[in-house]
Amino acid sequence: MHTDKFDPLIGNGSWINGRWVKSESKFPVINPATEQVVTALYEVTMEQAETAITSAEEAFRHWSQTTAQERSDILRRWYELLLTHIDALAELLTKEQGKPVGEAKAEIRYGADYIRWYSEECRRLYGETIPGPTQNKRIIVLRQPIGVTAAITPWNFPNAMIARKAAAAIAAGCTMVVKPSELTPLSALALAKLGQMAGLPDGVLQVLVGTDAEKIGEMLTTHPAIQALSFTGSTEVGRKLASRCGEHLKRVTLELGGNAPFIVFDDADLGVAVDGLMQAKFRNAGQTCICSNRVLVQDSILTPLLEKLHAKVKKLRVGDGLLEHTQIGPLIQPQACQKVAHLLDDASRKGAKITQFNETPPTHGYFCAPAIVTNVTPNMAIYREEIFGPVVAIMSFATEDEAIRLANDTQAGLAAYLYTQNPSRIWRMVDQLEYGMVGINDAAISNPAAPFGGIKASGFGREGSRHGLDEFTYLKYLSWGI
């Protein structure tokens, strides 16, 4: 499958100032389902990264002066182009990331929806007027674009995580330099090229591809022209980037790891709860920050819930995402499979019961069999760490107080799920759950109208909704004497 032929949608290197740039060395992009090289791209050099930032600075001068209507029209065309190219984009995404092509299409639509949302919301970048302290003074507040921004994005959603950051930044009148994961750079390049086709001026969106994440990250967090960084990824890396941004006084938005509790009470509709669990657990083979990580089930319904769950998990088809019937693709790298194996081994040694399904995956690729783990206890790594694989970890609880205590027993605070039909209980639980997002009888919590983000070690700032624009704007107050 290795092709070194030039694809106009992804070029062969970084996208800087409206063109593809070459360098001396290349790195391969590997298909995790086949372990074959999809293509090889030129590594960005530090000089090229510097050029990307300075040309983003130049582009900002013009872009920040465009009208909301102009930005809205371009964003809308970008959204439409993504949908026109959805088949090619989804195939590319599956080849570099592994998720089933149907899920890849859903991701393209999800990312495109952010672009459409911000094409509309950018016309509502309202300021305010405030009564002045004296008769001859008026106070006016404007929302201004913050300047050149940077984004460092993960491999689990190679398209949507960039789309939701870039759409908000560009809608606000900012320019953006993106460093996608070196594991999945192709979707990022295609997104930028389609942006140009939609009318984004050169320099408004730049994409730097390369394997030296440390060096590129350092430049994006220290360069004086960059005013804000939006990062999605691990808590460990987020902490380092945030500390460097702090030193250089840059604004930071962090969407970091989660450890989502999925709580099912005995008054829940069990069918709805199990469908929700399948969705929240197995999306992207369990590789999302909002995947249910610890399933907490009230003890009186544990047995019927497990029966329903087993019946569904055993039917999951693992395989190459390009094949029509695949529901669970490979994990991103061999290390990801090793981590899941380590979590299962640790849980088993500490007394958990493990049932694995579909244990003969394809001979090539980084596949991991779906599993259900019961009798999970807090001393197990699977309870403390993000699983990032197709494994359901289950424990039971007796009372509401115990459910809350277990749910909050983590440093993470991204998403939680709650299944019950008792409205009073819902309010009691929602008040106490230490999470930025709570799905109530609902597992599909991600959409552009909602403010996505966490608290505690899961980060800060919000993406999506009108609040997403706050990350890329600052308030300028006018004190007006009359």
Residue 446 lies near ligand SIN (rule: CB under 6 A): yes
Residues 6+ apart with CB under 8 A from 414: 255, 256, 257, 258, 259, 260, 289, 290, 435, 436, 437, 453, 454, 458, 459
Q: Which is nearer to ligand SIN, 232 or 358 (CB)?
A: 232
- One-character DSSP codes across 317-384: PBS-TTSTT-SB---SSHHHHHHHHHHHHHHHHTT-EEEE------SSS-----EEEES--TTSHHHH
Tell me the C-alpha distance between 43 and 215, whole Å.
12
**Phi, psi (5° rounding) for residue 150?**
-130, 155
Task: Check: CB of residue 351 under 8 Å from CB of residue 367.
Answer: no
Q: x/- contact string, 273-312, with ligand SIN (CB under 6 A)? A: ---------------xxx----------------------
Residue 168 or 403 with smaller CB distance to ligand SIN: 168
Verify binding: residue 17, ligand SIN, rule CB under 6 A. Answer: no
DSSP 8-state symbol, 387: -
In terms of CB distance, is 229 or 352 closer to ligand SIN? 229
215 CB-side CA count, 13 A: 14
Least distance to ligand SIN, CB of residue 232, Å = 5
Q: Which one of residues 12, 94, 156, 230 is an interface residue with ligand SIN (CB under 6 A)? A: 156
Residues between 325 and 354 with contacts to ligand SIN, criterion CB under 6 A: none
Of 204 and 392, the one with the shorter C-beta distance to ligand SIN is 392
Phi, psi of 102 (to 5 degrees): -65, -40
Least Å distance between CB 446 and ligand SIN?
3
CB 86 within 8 A of CB 135: no
> Quick check: is 255 catalytic?
yes
Q: Which is nearer to ligand SIN, 106 or 142 (CB)?
A: 106
Counting residues that bind ligand SIN (by CB under 6 A) gives 8
Footprint of ligand SIN on residues 224-243 (CB under 6 A)?
232
Can you tell me the distance from the alpha carbon of 320 to that of 34, in angstroms, rounded to the nearest whole number? 8
Listed residue (347, 333, 445) closest to 389, CA to CA: 333
Point out the residue whose Cβ comes nearest to ligand SIN.
Answer: 446
Beta carbons within 8 Å of 311's beta carbon, 6+ residues apart: none
Q: Which class for 431: exposed (0-12), middle (13-18), buried (19 or more C-beta within 10 A)?
A: exposed
Compute the radius of gyration of the chain from its Cα atoms: 23
Minimum Å gap between C-beta 420 and ligand SIN is 23
Q: Which of 289, 291, 337, 368 is catalytic?
A: 289
Which parts of 25-54 interact with ligand SIN (CB under 6 A)? Answer: none
CB of 152 to ligand SIN, least distance (A): 13
Residues 6+ apart with CB under 8 A from 399: none
Asked if residues 106 and 446 have their Cβ atoms less than 8 Å apart, the reply is: no
Please say which residue, 258 or 330, places its beta carbon nearer to ligand SIN.
Answer: 258
Residue 157 found at the interface with ligand SIN (CB under 6 A): yes
Strand partners, 255: 232, 459
Q: Give the shortest CB-96-to-ligand SIN separation in angstroms.
A: 17
Does residue 27 come out as left (phi exceeding 0), alpha (psi in the -120 to 50 range) or beta? beta
Catalytic annotation, pick one of 57, 255, 386, 471: 255
User: What ranges in 283-422 are assigned the alpha helix state H?
Assistant: 302-313, 334-349, 381-384, 400-407
Our CB check for ligand SIN shows the closer of 103 and 121 to be 103
Binding mask 243-262 for ligand SIN (x = CB under 6 A): ------------x-------
Q: What is the DSSP letter of 452?
A: B
Neighbours of 157 (CB within 10 A): 25
Least distance in angstroms from the C-beta of 435 to ligand SIN: 14
Of 98 and 147, which CB lies nearer to ligand SIN in the complex structure? 98
Closest separation in Å from C-beta 380 to ligand SIN: 23
Between CA 166 and CA 184 the distance in angstroms is: 17
Q: Identify which of residues 156 and 184 has a Cβ nearer to ligand SIN in the complex.
A: 156
H or E stretch including 467? none
59 forms part of the interface with ligand SIN (CB under 6 A) = no
Residue for token digits 């949507």? 160
User: Taking CB under 6 A as the rule, which mask of x and - marks residues 178-217 in contact with ligand SIN?
Assistant: ----------------------------------------
Rule CB under 6 A: say whether 97 interacts with ligand SIN: no
Amino acid residing at 168: A
Contact positions vs ligand SIN (CB under 6 A): 156-157, 232, 255, 288-290, 446
Task: Give the residue numbers annotated as catalytic, written as ranges.
Answer: 255, 289
